[in-house]
Amino acid sequence: MANDQMPDELPTDQWLEELFASVDQPGDSPAPASVESAGSGEPAQPPVQSSGWEQDTFKDDEFRDTFGEGTDLEQIFGGSPDSQPKPEPKPEPPAPQEQEEKKEKAPVRKGRPKKKNGYGLFGIPHLLATFIWLAIIVVIGVSVGNMVWLCATDVLAFGRDPIVATVVVEEDDTMDDIAEKLKDAGLIRYTGLFKLYADLSNAEEEIRPGTYNFNSGTEDEELIVYDYMALVSYMSPSGGLTVVEDLRIPEGYTCAQIFKLLEENNVCSAKELEEYAANGELGDYWFLEGVTRGDKYCLEGYLFPNTYDFYENDEPERVLKKMLNAFDANVNERMRDQLVALNDTLAAMMRKNGYDSSYIEDHKFTMREVVIVASMIEKESANTSESFTVASVIYNRLANAAKFPYLNIDATLVYALDGKSDLTEEDKKLDSPYNTYTSAGLTPGPISNPSQNSISAALDPEETAFYYYAFDPASGEHYFSKTYQEHLDFLSSLKGDA
């Protein structure tokens, strides 16, 4: 220690040498030395040597005062170092500075801060927070209610005045286009709301192309306020449309004449009907076998003449299918079975005129060819009673094509000339497959839409020897002749009467 002093009698260096010399002697082990405090004034005593740990007895007063006397002291310090266990040193208590550092490093326990009584989220008093939430709920409720009311007034047309408007829905219009047109006409306010209603009510499948007059504005018409349901219903074929009742399609009308008639009665436009007849989906009809689609009049012969009920601005598909279904219903199974009998009759006629079996087989009639003949009968017959005789003249010529290659029927030429009836000799030279004065055999297709009577006559012609006929103005019927000379004589008689 810094305050310790060595005895004056023995120099420090010499004392250390003697000390280390005694420790280095073999068989001797130094005993612990006791050094008096410098303040006692007494010189330090030299260390006591012992012959061994087994026999040495520790008699230092300071250690006795500390550890006591007796065998316990002997057990602690006596014996061999190898045989006696050494006491484990007690850990020293940490210094105050280290304790402070450990306290600083100890994890701080986190917890939700306690709210002060009477305060809620963000420290807002509970009563004030309640008023804020009520105000928010009221504002949202008023806004939603106002929005619902505006939507309801548009959907149900509350407070709206009757509007006179015309809306044209095109074939390729989407629901967006229709909604915009209705808004532009003043019939709706919100296009998005109308499209939502259209989606929910499947209106896109119901609304179809057409021209719609909402309140025509005439004095005798009661004006209507159209809500969403009324708008969709009016623009749908099954609801709200004016019915065109008992519209008669006359026998023998061509497709062009039928389409014009339907347009004049506001059923469909002629253009819509032409386009759908050419390319629209019609389904499978047995009698359309062999019909080439793509031409606007390709359904010629199959639009059955009858009296129909249509809607104004009706769908072209529905209109055409209604007439095709009527043809299917009237040309029944019994009439189709007559085709076999007709071919047997024609085969016998051709064999009689010298044609072989191969020629006869190649000239068997199909139902389409029957319809072509029926369309000629329809246009040439003065009345239903002579239809079967006119049919016999046509078949007599067809069965003897070598002698009568041309049918010489005026009605086919009129069809080729788009309805011109006052034919001239120059007209008869027209280069057209529908001119039976210059083209042999049947025309490429029907020239009119025949009645059931004409179809029956084409399937079951009268058996005659006539090859000519001419109209007699006096009787209002046709005069039939067996020879060409007889036919010329009759024509001469007509000129004489004139």
Task: Give pTM, 2 decimals.
Answer: 0.58
CA distance 234 to 464: 57
CA distance 425 to 437: 10
Number of H helices, E strands in the chain: 19, 6
Cβ–Cβ contacts within 10 Å for residue 488, how many? 13
Residues in the chain: 498
CA distance 165 to 76: 123
144-150: list long-range contacts, CB under 8 Å, 24+ apart: none
Q: What pLDDT score was predicted for residue 51?
A: 45
CA distance 267 to 312: 4
Q: For 345, phi and psi rounded to 5 degrees? A: -65, -45
pLDDT tens, N- to C-terminus, the chain (498 residues):
444 444 444 554 454 455 545 544 454 444 444 444 444 444 445 544 444 444 444 445 555 555 555 545 455 545 444 545 555 555 566 555 555 555 555 555 555 555 555 555 555 666 666 767 677 787 777 666 666 757 777 787 776 788 888 888 887 889 999 999 999 988 898 898 889 988 888 887 788 777 787 876 555 556 788 888 888 888 876 555 577 889 999 999 999 999 999 999 989 999 999 999 999 999 889 999 889 999 999 999 999 999 998 888 888 998 999 999 999 999 888 888 899 999 999 999 999 999 999 999 999 999 999 999 999 999 999 999 999 999 999 999 999 999 999 999 999 999 999 989 899 999 999 999 999 999 999 999 999 999 999 999 999 999 999 999 999 999 999 999 999 999 999 999 988 755
Q: pLDDT per residue over 248-286, tens digit each?
A: 999 999 999 999 999 999 899 999 999 999 999 998 899
Taking each helix axis from N to C terminus, what angle separates 191-201 and 175-184, rounded to the nearest 10 degrees? 130
425-432: list long-range contacts, CB under 8 Å, 24+ apart: none
The distance from CA 100 to its chain's CA centroid, rounded to whole angstroms, is 75
Q: What pLDDT score was predicted for residue 178?
A: 92
Domains of the chain: 134-241 (3.30.1490.480), 243-330 (no CATH), 333-464 (no CATH)
End-to-end CA distance of the chain: 172
Q: What pLDDT score was predicted for residue 29?
A: 46
Quick one: which of 373, 425, 426, 371 has its CA closest to 399? 373
Q: What pLDDT score was predicted for residue 416?
A: 95
Q: What pLDDT score was predicted for residue 373?
A: 98
Q: What pLDDT score was predicted for residue 1?
A: 45
CA distance 254 to 374: 13
469 bridge partner residues: 480
* Tokens linked to 102: 């450990």
Q: What pLDDT score was predicted for residue 121?
A: 54
Quick one: which of 412, 386, 361, 378 has its CA closest to 466? 386
Query: Is the distance from CB of 249 to CB of 303 less than 8 angstroms?
Result: yes
Q: pLDDT per residue over 404-458, tens digit each?
A: 999 999 999 999 999 898 999 999 999 999 999 999 999 999 999 999 999 999 9
- What residues contact 327, with CB distance under 8 A and at least 6 apart? 285, 287, 302, 303, 304
Query: Is the distance from CB of 312 to CB of 238 less than 8 angstroms?
Result: no
